[in-house]
Amino acid sequence: MKKNIAVFASGKGSNFEAIAKSARSGTLKVNLALLVCDNPGAPVLAKARKLGVKILLVKRGDFAQKKDFEEAIIRELKNNKVGLVVMAGFMRMLSAQFVRSYKGSIINIHPALLPSFKGAHGIKDAFDYGVKVTGVTVHFVDEEMDHGPIILQKEIRIKESDTLKSLEARIHKLEHILYPQAIKMIAQARVKVSGRKARITGR
């Protein structure tokens, strides 16, 4: 039976689109049950409609407290029998209570080699710092920002000719490959977590 997943996104949705297309083609054997979005102007919404993915548009301003906002999301996740939450540019930090509710079942992608260059500007921060190598990290979400056991990492060497724009394009291209790979491994129960580490088993 295919695992039901929900993708959380607030912006353009390029990772959402890569995941959705992988699921549609059958290379990723999951059921993309829900897009969760908090931004009514997000381009990802049009992509979800075009791909026929159910949308939960939930605006923080409609709720008095963050707790109520998150409880509304959790209700829909349960209604859609979601077993894996996939963060893909959702621009809100989840509370510790939310993370505990889905412990071991929330993943995130970050455009740098964690633990380096945490935060919202991982690509720019790495580029401005002048490192020679950066990359992409897929990791489980815990109660700290850009933290939790790492599932997959892939390096990208920064070229002398790279601009911030060209580096961003290369990072995003890698994200669109790496994220579906990580989800596939989880769906196949090949990712085992022990303490603070995740390991991949089998093929």
Question: Residue 110 catalytic?
Answer: yes
Q: How far apart are CA 59 and CA 69, in angstroms?
A: 8
CA 10 to chain centre: 11
* Cβ proximity of 66 and 12 under 8 Å: no
Phi-psi region of 117 (alpha: psi -120 to 50; beta: other; left: phi over 0): left
Name the DSSP letter for residue 134: E
- Active-site position among 110, 121, 147, 172: 110
* Cβ proximity of 110 and 43 under 8 Å: no
Torsion on CA atoms 72, 119, 150, 140, rounded to nearest 10? -10
Catalytic positions, please?
110
